[in-house]
Amino acid sequence: MSSESEKDKERLIQAAKVFFFHMKDLTSFINTFTEFFNHNMNTQILSIAVKEDSNIKDFFEQMLKIFKEMQSVVEAMHSKIQKEPLYSSVAKAMCSVAEKCTHVELQHSAKKMLKNVQTPVIVSMLKSTNVLGSLESSLSLLMKYPIMSLQLCDFYREDTKEPSETTTSGKTPSSDLSKTTAIDTLKKLQDALKSENASNLLESAADHLEQIVRVMQRTLESLQRAIKTLETDISL
């Protein structure tokens, strides 16, 4: 294999590994976001379970379902909030607290007041920034790439480790298996990402997967910013 082909092969392998961990990070961040959303919006949206033998399409469909559910909740709450200005809700909540006398009642009422104010703030933020719509668009874009039929384990196997012991021949017990797995993975990726007009299939596949990874990176960054912004707004 030429040096150029070897370079393209390494690019494809590295991009596949990055994709694998981006998928895990994306799942983790979405679950964190979902937990935050459920806690503050009194919803029960289900989180995502990472299964390496699941198709990539299944992951993205679950993620899209979550964001669409959130969008629906935000739209409904925003319509309700529009009927009553935020300052009016705050004033009513504070008056309710002022009417309480005992310390225990005051603590309970204060928490309820903060909850009543907190939810409209989150709804307004999500609505004004359109973060859910942006995330939904990013996932919809990713679903157009020709890797949806592949499984997460087709990109990388996290449990693959170099054994500490060697055989009498000097080879590791799983060396042949690892090579077979690597070749099989490369072939699956190359077939899924092949371009009819490409003269170099390895290079084309590496280019495509690196592009997908860049889109995923932007999606991850958007989700991280959304979580951080919401947490900051709530603390303030």
Give the pLDDT score at 99.
53
219 in any annotated domain:
no
Smallest CA-to-CA distance from 122 within 112, 133, 134, 114 is with 114
Q: Is 167 domain-assigned?
A: no
User: Could you read off the pLDDT of 148-194 as tens digits, one per residue?
Assistant: 989 999 998 876 544 444 444 455 444 454 565 577 778 888 888 88
Is the predicted pLDDT of residue 120 greater than 70, yes or no?
A: yes
Whether the Cβ atoms of residue 63 and residue 48 lie closer than 8 Å to each other: yes
pLDDT score of 195:
75
In a domain, 108, yes or no: yes
Specify if 168 maps to a domain: no
Residue 106 region by backbone torsions, left for phi larger than 0, else alpha for psi between -120 and 50, else beta: alpha
Q: What confidence score (pLDDT) does residue 230 get?
A: 77
| Residue 192 domain boundaries | 3-157+174-200
Pick the more confident residue, 103 or 44: 44
- Kindly state the percentage of the chain with pLDDT values over 90: 32
**What angle do helix axes 175-192 and 201-235 make, rounded to 10 degrees?**
90
Q: How many domains does the chain have?
A: 1
Q: Is residue 210 part of a domain?
A: no
- Asked if residue 216 belongs to a domain, the reply is no
Query: What whole-number distance in Å separates Cα of residue 15 and Cα of residue 188?
Result: 14
Residue 102: inside a domain: yes
Contacts of 62 (CB under 8 A, 6+ apart): 48
The answer to whether 152 touches 56, Cβ cutoff 8 Å, is: yes
What percent of the chain has a predicted confidence (pLDDT) above 70? 72
How do residues 78-96 score in pLDDT, each as one tens digit?
888 777 655 555 555 555 5
Q: Answer yes or no: is 222 within a domain.
A: no
Residue 192 is classified by DSSP as H
Across residues 93-101, what is the average pLDDT?
Answer: 52
Most confidently modeled of 52-61, 100-109, 175-184?
52-61
State yes or no: pLDDT of 8 exceeds 70.
yes
The pLDDT, as a whole number, for residue 199 is 74
Quick one: pLDDT band at residue 18, thresholds 50, 70, 90?
very high
pLDDT at 95: 54
Mean pLDDT score across all residues of the chain? 78
pLDDT tens for each residue of 186-218: 888 888 888 777 678 888 899 999 999 999 999
21 has a pLDDT exceeding 90: yes
